Amino acid sequence: MKEPASAHHRGLDLVIGLCSLGLLTPLLLPLATGRVFVQNDLTWFHLPMRYLYQQALRAGDTVLWTPSILAGFYVQGEGQTGMFHPVHQLLYRLLPLGPAFNLELIGSYPLAFGGMYWFLRRLEFSVTASLWGAMLFAFSGFTLLHHHHMNMVEIVAHLPWLLAAADVAISDDRPRAQALGFAAVALILASELLLGFPQAVWWTGLALSAYAVFRASELRRWRRLRSCAAALAIGVLIGAVQWLPSLDVASRSTRAGGASDFAVTYSLHPFNLLQLWSPYFFEGGAYGGIISFHEYGIYSGAILIVSCLWVWIRRDALAHRRRLVTATTVFAAIALVLALGRYGGLDWVITHLPVLRSIRGPVRYVVLVQFALAVLAAITMDDLLAIARGAAGELRRFASVLWIPATLGLLTTLLLNTGVLPYGRHTFARLAAASAGVAIVAVVTLLTTLAGRRAAWAIPALVVVTALDLGAWGIRFVYLVPARTIESLTDQVPAAPQAPADSYAFVQRHGPYSSDLLVLRGYRLTSGYVGLFPTATHPLESEAAIRLSGTRWIFTPDGSRQPFDGAAARVRLLDDSSGSARLVVDRPGRLVADVNVQGPRTLAFTERYHDGWSATADGAPVPTVPVDDDFLGCVVPPGTHEVTLRFMPRSFVYGSTLSAFGVLLLATGGLMRWRWR
């Protein structure tokens, strides 16, 4: 910055730092106490998947396929465990499951904080304003309410890093800085892709496109966009080891042939905009209820809406930021319309675009709204600091505009939360709860107004109140379900039998274990919960699927375990009662059977079929075939043979080849660019 930070600013920096640490500390507590967060998808999906991932890494098994979900599943292609991300490889190879899981979840928040700080500093914000914007983004409503969608938050945390790296590539004239910016753009995008949540990568791509165009137009450096595009292409190549298998799994999933309105499920109902001025207006936190609060809870601190008004009523004093204010506001408005989904008039576009029609949850575009408004809040902070030191004029004109949100909050509370008007009596919160939210909005507005009139004490007070505001909204939700030890999640369940063939279990819906949780007790599930369910001729809950998958146990909705009779053998010969087949190796992605048959026969397994399986008999290739459409088999010739099946799908082979080529291209191209410069 052009002006050095004063002692007052250093004190304010400390306040922001302590408030940020105060927001991070509750997220660290499970790590310190040997527990993990268990809400929603954390125990339904993420923890079990990472358990299987760690078990495969330590046993030397393939991480591509697991027999422990859905009677066999291309789990690496499903993607959400990020199995080839270098950080995940280190965490789950070196640490116990609990600490590794905690560090993966917690790490997103410092990552988002550091990236936002660097991005705002690139835009020449003060240290104080950059710290302020970093706190607002890292601990935003979106990142905290979606903490259980851990890989999605991990990718969102990359967003400011990606924009800052692109800014270096576009605006920096130093040759080596340009080379580093180029490499950073490629590697950051690759990191996002390796985390396996394409929807979040799409969001960051939208933000990057908008920012790159804005920055190139501002600096008149349109040619630099070619360099950014080349870096993005290399990043896509490096990430191919994940996105190509994900395309494979998605193309075979129920989503590929889903209903036309799938893409607009979880559209943001306009009623939820009431949260912006009355965050506790709804009984369940959002219009949609407590079950969907993490999706529809769009609030992210009163300061965001107040700052949005501030930068416009102060536009004359912010002439040097006017282009940024305009571009950021327009981007936030577009993102909000996208978040509205079917209610924003974009349902036809969303449901017909090739990629977007397979991704649900338009409401999640709100992360881009919150990111943009955090930038406006940083502009507001720098303006307040300039007013405090006398470098800018006090807030005089249109000061009453800042009170619009508080006024709207007061009116909606008096008219609706009191029950004066006969609407939503089972949807709207009680008066006391709603009033608390409106009071927060009013206090933030008051402190901002006082700071705009040179009440220096109001700025640190504003920081503290905002931190409390974010914590009450987001941290409170994180602890809605208390953290627990991993062992306590399944301590009431009998351990699975030692023999893999005897450990297959089906979990009925709506019970305490109706997800993937029982893999922690050694069960191989013929049911399961994944993001991309494979298409199947026999529905999972049908008697045929339960029998053909080799199910030995059924867990009922009350959590009890019951034996299931009549299941198919783990390996068997079709149409040959005189032959024999015995499974001697039963590992993820590798099956070995000793077979003795009089003529060509089909050897059938209870493993789910995928054409990525290949088979050999004594080293000679034999064809694999689907058995009863959904399960794995191979044709073996007459005689006594050792039949080996391995899982190595073409999508992974091609993806890993492209990734290796991308790494080579980045290394050689970067070195040549560095030395040439």
> Hey, where are the domains in the chain?
260-454, 490-563, 578-645
Residue 15 structure tokens: 């306040």
Q: How far apart are CA 257 and CA 44, in angstroms?
A: 25
Residues 583, 597: contact at Cβ < 8 Å? no
Helices (H), 240-346: 240-251, 293-296, 302-313, 322-340
Residues 97 and 593: their CA atoms lie apart, in Å, by 32
- Continuous segment of H or E residues that includes residue 555: strand 553-555
Helix H segments across 123-197? Answer: 127-138, 141-145, 150-156, 159-171, 175-194
Q: In angstroms, what CA-CA distances link 141 with 16, 33, 159, 309, 438?
A: 18, 25, 16, 20, 17
* Sequence-ordered list of residues with C-beta below 8 angstroms from that of 326, at least 6 positions apart, any chain: none
User: What is the 3-class SS of 115-136, one letter each residue?
Assistant: HHHHHHHHCCCCHHHHHHHHHH
pTM of the model: 0.94
Q: Please give the pLDDT value at position 656.
A: 97
**Calpha distance 55→80 (Å, rounded):** 17
pLDDT for position 393 = 83
| β-pairing verdict for 590-597 and 601-608 | unpaired
Q: How far is CA 574 from the centre of its chain?
A: 44
Q: Which residues of the chain have pLDDT under 70?
A: 1-8, 257-260, 352, 354-358, 424-426, 576, 670-677
Residue 616 burial (CB count, 10 A): 16
- The per-residue pLDDT for range 380-411, each reduced to its tens digit, is 999 999 999 888 888 888 889 999 999 999 99
Helix (H) or strand (E) holding 90: helix 86-94
* Helix 86-94 / helix 47-59 crossing angle, nearest 10 deg: 80
Q: Which CATH architecture has domain 578-645?
A: Sandwich (2.60)
pLDDT at 422: 76
Q: How far apart are CA 170 and CA 228, in angstroms?
A: 8
So what's the pLDDT on residue 4? 43
